[in-house]
Amino acid sequence: MLGDRDVLVIYDERVLLHRPQAQEPFLPGRMDNRVRGILEGLGMTEAKWSYPEHPGRVTAVHDLLQSNPVPGVHITAGKAATMEQLQRVHTLSYLEHLYDLEGKQAWLDVDTTAISAGSLDAAEVAAGSVIAAVDAVFEKKFHSAFVVSRPPGHHANAVRARGFCLFNNIAVAAAHAQAHWDIERVLIVDWDAHHGNGTQDIFAADPSVMFFDTHRAAPFYPGTGHLEEIGEGLGEGTTINVPLPGDAGDRAIVTAFENILVPAAEWFEPELILVSAGMDAHMSELCLTMTDDGYSALTGIVQRLADTYCNGRLVMALEGGYNPETLARCTRRVLEVLAGADPVEPREPGMAEVAAMTDFHISAFADME
């Protein structure tokens, strides 16, 4: 029943400090010239272009939870990650390069990933809040946790910022769980529409972390996540990619979870499940064709796995999702299931409406007999 499970939601206003602005000058240099050239080639002048990963994404979620609370959900502020915690997955040289840019606005990658004056404060809190969520479920203060954070993390690898991501929040949390809570096996599930290339890179050769990712197939950004990418070295077999066509929706993705993720988890027996919870597979994002019900169903599956193998330990962190209204609504549906509501069985869109209209019309035909 909704409200039977206590769920921690971490939302910290410091994540709003990440605000790259196209109208303000960027640090001059080769990267600035390259990005400007790309934007101009696409017809995106400074007057037209704005940074897609903006603060309104997470404020929309927070506002909805304030106006329409979910029973059992408790909202609190987060904390900043330390350099020691970040270094578990990122190289010192990469971190030093980022901190050399502290207080500045600069491009970090030609895919338009950027940093602004407050970005590192926001990114530290984003990563640290997922760590705090992990601690909360291990301390048994909550059944599960969801971190409403930004910038997202799953495209950042050990040495590079990409896809609007600076620190890999989920990877930092997984490494923390193993170091601090002395567990051996972590399962990371990524249902964002874009492949979590950074997370895969970080753990590709690590047999103690299983990475399962459903996403739109290449050449869709970032162009990775092919079926044959199954891990490397000792980690071979613990990377599981499910690349999907652009019209894949609830039934395809739920089936992938039931038929691939569930037996994989049975074999792996994780002690903690982390979810990169991007909401951009929703049909309104034009990447895949999931619905609100699909996210409810996926949450039910991973929660069932957490109950079976992890004593319920389940932590989710926001990744993509760029339609604020859809993002907020889908996040709330996820939280309802985490808090005890029954998952919704996905249905083919339009079937219920056709059934109702069939009843309406058939009754008219019956009257003619």
Q: Which residues are catalytic?
A: 155
3-class DSSP state for residue 39? helix
**Closest-CA residue to 169 (of 18, 305, 63):** 18
Buried b (16+ CB within 10 A) or exposed e, 38-51: ebeeeeeeeeeeeb
Q: What is the CA radius of gyration of the chain?
A: 21
**Closest-CA residue to 152 (of 251, 223, 53, 31):** 53
- Furthest CA-CA distance within the chain: 82
Asked if 278 contacts 285 with a C-beta cutoff of 8 angstroms, the reply is: no
DSSP state at residue 17? G
- The Cα-based distances of 66 to 126, 252, 287, 338 in angstroms read 20, 33, 29, 17
**Closest-CA residue to 92 (of 159, 163, 32):** 159
Asked if 57 contacts 321 with a C-beta cutoff of 8 angstroms, the reply is: yes
- The Cα-based distances of 77 to 64, 154, 165, 268 in angstroms read 17, 22, 21, 33
Return phi, psi of residue 207, to 5°. Answer: -75, -10
Strands 144-147 and 114-115: unpaired
Tokens of 230: 């199954």
DSSP 288-350: SBB-HHHHHHHHHHHHHHHHHHSTT-EEEEE-----HHHHHHHHHHHHHHHTTPPPPPP--TT
